[in-house]
A and B are shown apart, each in its own frame.
Chain A
Amino acid sequence: MPTISVDKAELFKELGKDYTTEEFDELCFEFGIELDEDTTNSDRPTVDGKQEPPQLKIEIPANRYDLLCFEGIALMLNIFLGRKPLPNYRLIEPPSGELQKIIVKEDTMKVRPLVSGAILRNVTFDQARYESFIALQDKLHQNLARQRTLVSIGTHDLDTIQGPFTYEALPPRDIRFVPLNQTQEMNGEELMDFYDKDKHLGKYLHIIRDSPVYPVIYDSQRTVCSLPPIINGDHSKITLNTRNVFIEITALDKTKVEIVNKIMVSMFSQYTSEPFTIEPIQVVSEHNNETRITPDIAPRTTQAEVSYLNQCCGLQLSQEDICKLLKKMAYDATPSSSSDLVDVHIPPTRADVLHQADIMEDVAIAYGFNKLPRSFPSKSGTIAQPLPINKLSDIVRVEAAMAGWSEVLPLILCSHDENFAWLNRKDDGNIAVKLANPKTMEFQVVRTSLLPGLLKTIRENKQHSVPMKIFEVSDVAFKDLSLERKSRNERHFAAAWYGKSSGFEVVHGLLDRIMSMLKSAFITGEEGLENPEVGASHYWIEELNDPTFFPGHAASVHLRIGDKDHTIGAFGILHPTVLENYEMKYPVSTLEINIEAFL
């Protein structure tokens, strides 16, 4: 969730009330934003000999792009408090009657095909407004625009450039200009090198770097306005004295480019000489049918069902009640001719409203979540039941603990070596699920065995008295190409003994105990298998040659349920090389079985 810092005194001035921190916190809580911090009593940085005034740090829900700046927060809270009406945003054509144009060249399809824009006339900036204007672009770039990949914004002093503008895509060498706040002219290639190590811009270079053509916006005099999504030209930069602002927005995403445009103009058109007016521009883009006039700031009109709103909220509101509540949330709503409908006009600031469910939520917020009549949804009886594999696991867990073993809970992800090489196991490529983008070596594969976790737990608990007796009942995962998700979990039970002697027989005894609690009888040899006296489920063990274990001291565990034989696992003394890999000083015996056969 984005966090926005706003000047406390300025905001309270806008809201017409000097709130205490608690009061303001409460207001935020009801409205659905969160006061993270009030810096009044904190150490505030001093810049140029002036201490930063107290700030409010406010967390904004990720879909409320209209709250990403001071102007938006002040406006929406004022509307919520009933202190201000929703502004009437208007498009005003220039006196000449001729709109500014951005002419789009088809080559832009190769790199960044969409463009949009707008003009704000007779804007008055001051330091705070200017900073907020820059900060909003930054927040939009970070969030909705996904680090400028989907959308990027350039803003220019219109009086330094001349339309019509062209949006083109050219080879990097052919683009030459002085980037913002630089003095030296450079071409597209040089620019990439120049900003390669730049802390701020370096991370955006990859978006176009390897493209044969770079997107670029020129004015009619071939002045470079910007090289989106990296940087603007220095020539047309905005200053505190700028009066007329040209906003251009380039994008990969058709919906988001217009959302960004609407947010930019609705937030800053209040500083024009005639507040809330916007001069539209014409985008000429015949090759992809994107010729249009932007921005479209007309409210989106839809209808919401009174019965739906009331049902979900558990209220009995009239059409008028609903309209009144919606007004607090910046909608313009009127009762419809049909008694079950209200006509809702969604302002250009509210791109997050997709369905009447969103309108319903706003009715509930305006009414107050904490004032809604509370009830208990108990009309329908349902029957509780545990997941069978979890019930089975609980039996094994409790039996193991009652037998004197302690349950541990290691991680499910581990390194490839821990899962394979360190256990003297080979990866044939068909077993483990591997991660594409782990941040550390610790998380390379989903474990296929519980042993690495148990051994790491022992390694980290060497100060504990010996013997250590630990166990885990949990899932491992295997590749399984026959399934939709290409993998499957398997529930395992594993235990490890660490002590001065091997504990081989102790681990064997634990197996016997668990088997007997799961109603499986121990039998030996073929003789026993054919004994009709033996019950429906029985098990036996066979000597096992497995490099994980010490030769001659390991056994596989076999289970026969009904007529079906399963090899469910193994136990034994770990091979000394395994002990060395896991930094074990004493011998370790382990047991690991798949318990799914008992389901």
Chain B
Amino acid sequence: MASDMTKPILDALSASEGPILSSEAFPSIPSLSIKSAVDRLASRQMVEYETIEKEAAVLTKEGEDIAANGSHEAKVFEAVVAAIDGLKIGDLPGIVGKENAGIGQGNAFKRGWIKKDKDTLRATTDSIVDETRDLLLNIKKSQAVADKKVLVDLKRRKLISIQKVISFKISKGPKYAKEFVKEETDLTAEMLHDGSWKTAHFKPYNFNARGAPAPSGALHPLNKVRQEFRSIFFEMGFEEMPTNRFVETGFWNFDALYVPQQHPARDLQDTFYISDPLTADPPREDPEHDPHRPKPVHKPTTTEKKLDYKEYWENVRQVHEDGKYGSIGYRYPWSAKESLRLVLRTHTTSVSTYMLHKLAANPRPARYFSIDRVFRNEAVDATHLAEFHQIEGVIADFGLTLGGLIGFMEVFFAKMGIHQLRFKPAYNPYTEPSMEIFGYHEGLGKWVEIGNSGMFRPEMLEPMGLPKDMRVYGWGLSLERPTMIKYAVSNIRELLGHKVDLNFIETNPAVRLEKE
């Protein structure tokens, strides 16, 4: 960096009555150095300045050389004079340089300063006036050429060039002082140590700039929303279900939920079937060593009934095929083979079913939830992926009413900031009644479907061995849909999967469902 010009500028202002011109006061200082100094001074209101832009004639390197040492012809003349008895033409380049020799010799002849005597140059006069040099010296000072013809000639001879020259008109500012005190940019340990912080001047902080970027990791936006939902469930007394099981049997995914075997949901078009391994075993007790077996917080005081899986299987068959528990059934030949086909679970309700069956060992009030991945063999588009997350809640209790389900939903959704709900009758093979939940979206100004709910059918619950007067609410929604609405994401692939933009993950704000 060039030398600090703040001091010279302050001094010059002190010595001058009025404003100063940098081009006059500091003609040889590059304008960039002046600029940085006046900026610094101006930021503290010590000076004020105007920028002056003008075109100036500036000597080229050759022009500078002539201004300093004389024109080529003058140099030739001096060399000739210096030689006592004329100068051999051949010696001239050795003395004045090759460049000067040619042009200088010619010009000196033209001006009649020298003459040629065979191979020797001789002076014809004792003294000369070096006009070229005088002209250039004058231009250097004034930075202007009055005569246009001369200007063109000098430019052609590459002795001057025309440049934009920036200079400054500097005057005292409201906080002018003779001294520019050095500014500290930061409070350092040394300052604390040597006490210099007491006298140091601190550079004002730029409150318009951003701070230094904080290096940080990030949690995925979808998982942040998931965590909010989990918190809501925990606040309301729910136990998380073991959904770490992607592969299910037709039995747990469909039959046990009273989804008939010809239901469209079981089509190859909708469900991923497994080719390897091919066939499941009929339902049975989980292995003892399975670390994911659900463990109640405290052992119930009443004794647990041993679950009879064979009986359950048979009950499910009967309720589909012939009807049972007050139901006329679907009345079709139920296939055990179909029930043992392996699928990627299409919903986490398969796990709710598994948990409710476990509950039949000791029927008691229970609240379960899960949020996990489910799989649908759908064509992928902006709103559909073959995978998404399902949020599911289950409440089992005696004497539950439909109004209770509605009342519960009001509290549940109020915790996510949705305060107006209404319910539409709908159809779902495993819930009756089934209610679609619509919430009023303030931003969109309309009712949007936000979930599905219902009471599980007796044909699903009673085969498990749950008592007839135990009723079970179930409801579900996808995790992606509310997240897409919330973040105005229009393509689900921008939210889930490998095409998600890492910058989106890293800059996504914290999630507070109740606030938005």
**Complex CA distance for A114 and B262, rounded to whole angstroms:** 17
* Contact, CB under 8 Å: B402 / A364: yes
**Stretch of A84-92, A370-378, A571-579 on the interface side:** A370-378
Shortest CB-to-CB span from A70 to chain B, Å, is: 20
CA distance in complex: A346, B264 (Å) = 25
Given the known inter-chain contacts A255-B331, A386-B234, A412-B387, please indicate yes or no for A439 contacting B223, CB distance below 8 A. no
Instruction: Choose one: A376, A379, A385, A483; the contact of B297 (CB below 8 Å).
Output: A385
Q: How far is the CB of B438 from chain A (nearest CB, A)?
A: 8
Residue of B nearest to A380 (CB): B365
Binds A, one of B20-28, B57-65, B186-194, B491-499: B491-499
A314 touching B240, Cβ below 8 Å: no
Which of B235, B236, B399, B506 neighbours the largest number of chain A CB atoms within 10 Å of its CB? Answer: B399
**Does A469 interact with chain B (Cβ within 8 Å)?**
yes
Across the interface, name the chain B residue whose C-beta is closest to A400. B217
Q: Does A506 contact B (CB under 8 A)?
A: no
Contact of B326 among A355, A457, A459 (CB under 8 A): A355
The one of A32, A355, A438, A453 that contacts B459, using a Cβ cutoff of 8 Å: A355
Check A437 against B272 for contact (C-beta < 8 Å).
yes
The answer to whether B332 and A405 touch across the interface, beta carbons within 8 angstroms, is no
Pairwise interchain contact B239-A383, C-beta atoms closer than 8 A:
yes
Q: Do residues A485 and B247 form an inter-chain contact, with CB atoms below 8 A? A: yes
Complex Cα gap A461–B375 (Å): 25
Q: Which of B154-162, B197-205, B422-430 contacts A (4 or more CB under 8 A)?
A: B422-430
* CB of A64 closer than 8 Å to a CB of B: yes
B137 at the interface (CB under 8 A from A): no
Contacts A29-B424, A372-B406, A409-B500 given; indicate if A253 touches B244 (C-beta within 8 A): no
User: Does residue A47 face the partner (Cβ distance < 8 Å to B)?
Assistant: no
Whether B233 sits at the interface, judged by CB under 8 Å, is yes
Give the docked Cα–Cα distance between A401 and B426 (Å): 42
**Which of the segments B32-40, B70-78, B98-106, B281-289 contacts the partner chain?**
B281-289
With A406-B505, A464-B503, A485-B280 known as contacts, the answer to whether A63 contacts B219 (CB < 8 A) is no
Binds A, one of B81-89, B126-134, B165-173, B407-415: B407-415
Q: Please, how many angstroms separate the alpha-carbon atoms of A410 and B499 in the complex? A: 8
8 Å CB interface, B325-362 against A: 325-332, 342, 344
In the assembled complex, A341 has its CB within 8 A of some CB on chain B: no
**What chain A residues lie within 8 Å of B397 (beta carbons)?**
377, 379-380
Q: Given A31-B425, A457-B500, A486-B280, check contact A401 B217 (CB 8 Å).
A: yes
Of the candidates B273, B291, B328, B400, the one whose C-beta lies within 8 Å of that of A354 is B328
Contacts of B241 in A (CB 8 A): 387
- Docked Cα-Cα span, A386 to B344, in Å, equals 24
Q: Which of A163-171, A230-238, A270-278, A473-481 contacts B (4 or more CB under 8 A)?
A: A473-481
Known: A354-B328, A433-B276, A477-B246. A410 touches B505 (CB 8 A): no
Interface membership of chain B positions 373-392, coded 1 if the CB is closer than 8 angstroms to chain A and 0 otherwise: 10101011000011100000
Q: Does A160 contact B (CB under 8 A)?
A: no
CB of B249 within 8 A of CB of A382, answer no
Given A409-B222, A411-B386, A468-B502 in contact, is the A313-B401 Cβ separation under 8 Å?
yes
Q: Choose one: A355, A457, A477; the contact of B502 (CB below 8 Å).
A: A457
Residues of A within 8 A of B223 (CB): 397, 407, 409
> Once bound together, how far apart are the Cα atoms of A500 and B420, in whole Å?
53
Query: Which segment of A173-181, A188-196, A487-495 sits at the interface?
Result: A487-495
Q: Which of B220, B248, B262 is close to A146, meaning CB atoms less than 8 Å apart?
A: B262
A374 touches B217 (CB 8 A): no
A114 → chain B, closest Cβ, in Å? 12
Q: Is A460 an interface residue (CB 8 A)?
A: yes
Q: What's the least CB distance linking A435 to chain B, in Å?
A: 5
Contact A397 B502 (CB under 8 A): no
List A contacts of B262 (CB < 8 A). Answer: 146, 150, 253
With contact pairs A403-B217, A453-B498, A485-B245 given, residues A354 and B239 touching in the complex (Cβ less than 8 Å): no
CA distance A429 to B278 in the complex (A): 13
Known: A34-B424, A377-B395. A433 touches B365 (CB 8 A): no
Q: Does B323 contact A (CB under 8 A)?
A: yes
In the bound complex, what is the Cα–Cα distance between A123 and B358 (angstroms)? 57
B216 within 8 A of A: yes
Q: Are A443 and B404 in contact (CB under 8 A)?
A: no
> Contact between B220 and A438 (Cβ–Cβ < 8 Å)?
no
A441 CB, nearest partner CB in chain B, Å: 12
| Chain B CB within 8 A of A365 CB | yes
Q: Does B237 contact A (CB under 8 A)?
A: yes
Give, as a whole number of angstroms, the nearest-CB distance from B480 to chain A.
11
Q: Is the CB of B330 within 8 A of A397?
A: no
Question: Bound complex: CA of A402 vs CA of B215, how far in Å?
Answer: 10
What is the CB-to-nearest-CB distance from A394 to chain B, in angstroms, rounded to a whole number? Answer: 8
Complex CA gap A388/B240 in Å reads: 9
Q: Is the CB of A313 within 8 A of B402?
A: yes
Interface contact A404-B401, CB-CB below 8 Å: no
Give, as a whole number of angstroms, the nearest-CB distance from A442 to chain B.
8
Please tell me if A360 contacts chain B, counting CB pairs below 8 Å. yes
Residue A552 CB within 8 A of the other chain = no
Please tell me the number of chain A residues within 8 Å of chain B, measured between CB atoms: 105
Q: CB-nearest residue of chain A relative to B326? A: A355
The interface residues of chain B lying within 8 Å CB-to-CB of A440 are 380
| B401 adjacent to A435 (CB under 8 Å) | no
Asked if A374 meets B410 with Cβ closer than 8 Å, knowing A355-B432, A364-B433, A382-B366, the reply is: yes
Asked if A312 is at the interface (CB within 8 A of a chain B CB), the reply is yes
Q: Which A residues are in CB contact (< 8 Å) with B19?
A: none
B277 interface residue, CB < 8 Å from A? yes
Chain A window 394-425, contacts with chain B (Cβ cutoff 8 Å), 1 for yes, 0 for no: 00011011111111111111000000000000
Docked-complex contact B280 and A361, CB < 8 angstroms = no
B138 CB to closest chain A CB (Å) equals: 58
Cα–Cα distance between A468 and B218 once the two chains are bound (Å): 12
Q: Which residues of A contact B215 (CB under 8 A)?
A: 404
A524 within 8 A of B: no
B501 at the interface (CB under 8 A from A): yes
Q: Cβ of B240 and Cβ of A387 under 8 Å apart? A: yes
Query: Is the C-beta of A541 less than 8 angstroms from some C-beta in chain B?
Result: no
B498 touches A61 (CB 8 A): no
Q: A369-B424, A405-B217 are in contact. Are A376 and B411 (CB under 8 A)?
A: yes
- List A contacts of B243 (CB < 8 A): 387
A437 touches B268 (CB 8 A): yes
Is the pair A360, B432 in contact by a Cβ cutoff of 8 Å? Answer: yes
A433 in contact with B247 (CB, 8 Å):
yes
Nearest residue (CB) in B for A386 is B240
B274 at the interface (CB under 8 A from A): yes
A39 CB, min distance to chain B CBs, angstroms? 19
Min CB gap B232→A, angstroms: 11
Closest to B378 in A: A439
Q: Which of A30, A62, A491 has the most CB of B within 10 A?
A: A62
Docked-complex contact B400 and A61, CB < 8 angstroms: no
Are B379 and A439 in touch, CB under 8 angstroms?
Answer: yes
Contact with B along A313-328 (1 / 0, CB 8 A): 1100000000000000
Closest to A488 in B: B245
With A314-B401, A376-B408, A386-B230 as given contacts, are A412 and B373 in contact (CB-CB < 8 Å)?
yes
Across the interface, do A313 and B217 meet the contact criterion of CB distance under 8 Å? no
Determine if B482 is an interface residue (Cβ-Cβ < 8 Å). no
CB distance from A446 to the nearest CB of B (A): 6
Docked complex Cα distance between A360 and B458 (Å): 12
Residue of A nearest to B233 (CB): A384
Please give, as numbers and ranges, the residues of chain B lying within 8 Å of A61 by CB-CB distance: 425-427
B458-471 interface code vs A (CB 8 A; 1 in, 0 out): 11000000000001
- The answer, yes or no, to whether A306 is at the interface (CB within 8 Å) is no
Most buried by B among A400, A446, A453: A446
- Give 14 A-B pairs besides A374-B406, A409-B223, A438-B272 with Cβ atoms closer than 8 angstroms: A312-B401, A312-B455, A354-B330, A355-B325, A361-B433, A369-B435, A372-B401, A374-B403, A376-B408, A377-B407, A382-B366, A408-B220, A411-B497, A446-B246
Q: Which 7 A-B pairs have the closest CB atoms?
A: A32-B425, A314-B401, A380-B365, A61-B427, A436-B275, A456-B498, A361-B433
Q: 6 pairs across A/B with beta carbons < 8 Å?
A: A364-B425, A369-B425, A374-B410, A381-B237, A382-B367, A436-B275
